[in-house]
Structure 1
Amino acid sequence: MSISGKCLCGAVSYLSEVNYQMSGNCHCVDCKRISGAAYAPMMFFPEDKLIVNGDLKYYSSPGGSGRMMHRGFCPNCGSQMFAKIEALPGLIAVRAGTLDDLSRYDPKVDLFISHAPFWDVMDPALPKFEKMPGAIALYGLIK
């Protein structure tokens, strides 16, 4: 099973021959600001199993855990593509909106719901977390 995607202008693309390990919608303040939406839909892959073509520019800032998050953008069109989260070593988050086939995204959890605006309608079937659970708990929950 392969998953592929690209930025708006096509200068950055990616491919993985393995399925993602976890997925979820993050409603934290930073994800809302970076995406310009109510939440950021993300899929987490083993970083060494994601082939990235093209140049990226990274912006780093502290995440909810206090550890750094490194967000990768296309320097040409500005599409946010990836996030490397120090609290989840070895994984890389891919923004689901960059998928070539959007139907491949299947969220398993809603994170940082304490930051969600009242108009953000969430799937009631998904587990909800006020903040980000610890990496061990997260792995166990949505693997």
Structure 2
Amino acid sequence: MDKPFTGGCACGAIRYSIAGEPLFANHCQCRDCQRESGTGHGSYATFARAGVNVTGRAKTWDMVGDSGNVKTRAFCPECGVAVYMTFKAMPDIFTIRAASLDEPARYKPQVVTYAARAYDWDHLDSSLTKFETMPPS
């Protein structure tokens, strides 16, 4: 069995363990991710929900993405760190913030999404495929 992906918030109140490899890994430059991260993009790894185990209670807030679908962002109510996202339209997936991983070097981005909203000062790996918005599923 492969080594699980583990991580959580800065204070340890929220922890996760995920069996399996990411289905998708991206840097997102949409305005929502910029606001949440406080920089030019958010970095995410998305997994099958079936392999996810979360301990601790997150505070959540919902927002509507460009697709019109609701995404729920979860953060630690103690330290404030953003940890994961879920999507009402896609209940079988679970997305974590790459920086929340215990071993962030395991994160391997595949693409850049919402490149149309990139800032000149937010330089990402130029070898990654860039999509103007979200690529088709």
Tell me the percent identity: 34
Residue 72 of structure 2: aligned partner: 70
Query: How far apart, in 2, do the equivalents of 1:17 and 1:85 lie?
Result: 19
Query: How far apart, in 1, do the equivalents of 2:32 and 2:89 lie?
Result: 16
* Partner SS for 1:30: helix
Q: Which runs of 5+ in 2 are unaligned?
A: none
Residue 25 of structure 1: aligned partner: 27
Query: How far apart, in 1, do the equivalents of 2:121 and 2:88 lie?
Result: 31
Regions of 4+ moved over 3 Å: 86-89
CA contact (8 A) 1:64 1:132 kept: no
Residue 134 of structure 1: aligned partner: 136
* Partner SS for 1:5: strand
Measure how far apart 1:102 and its partner are.
Answer: 1.0
84-93 or 117-126: which moved more?
Answer: 84-93
Query: How far apart, in 2, do the equivalents of 1:28 and 1:7 lie?
Result: 23
Residue 18 of structure 2: aligned partner: 16
> Aligned residues, how many?
135
Q: Give per-residue Cα distances to partners, 1:31-88, cap 9 Å, x unaligned.
A: 0001112110000011121110100111001012111110011111111111112344
Greater fraction helix: 1
Residue 79 of structure 1: aligned partner: 81
Residue 9 of structure 2: aligned partner: 7
* TM-score w.r.t. length of structure 2: 0.94
Measure how far apart 1:107 and its partner are.
Answer: 0.1
Q: Which runs of 5+ in 1 are unaligned?
A: 136-143
Match of 1:36 among 38, 45, 64: 38
Query: How far apart, in 2, do the equivalents of 1:47 and 1:25 lie?
Result: 20
